[in-house]
Amino acid sequence: MLLNNAVGFGGCGVVYWTVAVQLHLFLVYPLLLALLHTSVGPERLARTSGILFSLIIPAISLARYASSLARHVTLPLPALGHPDLDPAWIEPILSYFHGPLGYYSTLTRATNFLVGALLGLLVLDPGRWAALRRRRGAWAAVSLAALAAWAALVPLRRPFLAPPDRATAQAWPARASAVWAALGYHASLPVSFLVATGLAALMLFPRAAPARALGRLSPLEPYTFHAFLLHIPVMYWAEAWLAPRGALLRLTLAAPLAGLAALVLAVWCASLAAAAALGALERAVLQPALSRTLAVVGW
């Protein structure tokens, strides 16, 4: 599992490469904090960490941008397994996904993790949080701006919705490809900022309708990580069922934002249902069986 993000395209289980990245970050992050604690002392730890993380995020993004330009990576990338694929595409595809700054790289995904760390530094510091509460209207504007920016990026997904048997790509300009690569191909870095600003806004306005609605979903919390691990297989199943009928392509091309939102909602509802079913199976069958096994061996 520790090396799963370096194996194949996503490794075993498709989505479990993300678990490998999380394990790497959970191992390195405490060591980094311990080093900073020793170097600058506890009084300056939060401030130094915030400054450092704010510098690391754009530095990694700029490095990905430069790497994409240097390797002449042109998005969208064609399907690697297509029999008519031009051999010249193979190296850019492999480097894009599995290079030191590739899609599955822990270094690349550290940007998402550090956005969450910055949010934690903001929320857990009483002084900063009190100052933010006094300016919560401005923060709400920032959150809405992040949502609008993400919505503006959604139509750019259209070129990625080509038929899966295509051997060549409708090439984007080099700089446009590099910008998209710097954002994480599927705009993962802007989504991280959107989630962080949105969560802070919900905490600043706990009586607002979105915050109350989110609170009603708290019973689903035990299943969210399971649903995350299941959402890729569910999405592939949906694509396999919808794509041959042309429904998926028509939906997303006709209404990119609404179509994507509907697809995401359907996939996550199905994933949560599957996660709840697996959780019930685990409690009813697997946990009792494990307890009996441990009792037999004397543990």
> Taking the model in full, what pTM does it have?
0.76
Write the secondary structure of 266-285 as one string of H (helix), E (strand) and C (coil). HHHHHHHHHHHHHHHHHHHH
Rounded-to-integer distance, Cα 107 and Cα 295, Å: 43
**What counts of helices (H) and strands (E) characterise the chain?**
13, 0
What pLDDT score was predicted for residue 274? Answer: 85
What pLDDT score was predicted for residue 217? Answer: 81
Which amino acid, 124? L
Whether residue 162 contacts residue 252, with contact meaning beta carbons closer than 8 Å, is answered with no
What pLDDT score was predicted for residue 171? Answer: 65
What pLDDT score was predicted for residue 297? Answer: 76
Contacts of 233 (CB under 8 A, 6+ apart): 14, 15
Rounded-to-integer distance, Cα 5 and Cα 81, Å: 19
Q: CA separation (Å) from 210 to 70, 122, 199, 213?
A: 44, 21, 10, 5
Q: 167-206, pLDDT tens digit by residue? A: 454 567 777 778 877 876 655 788 888 888 888 888 899 8
Query: Which segments of the chain have a pLDDT < 50?
Result: 158-167, 169
What pLDDT score was predicted for residue 159? Answer: 45
Rounded-to-integer distance, Cα 135 and Cα 220, Å: 32
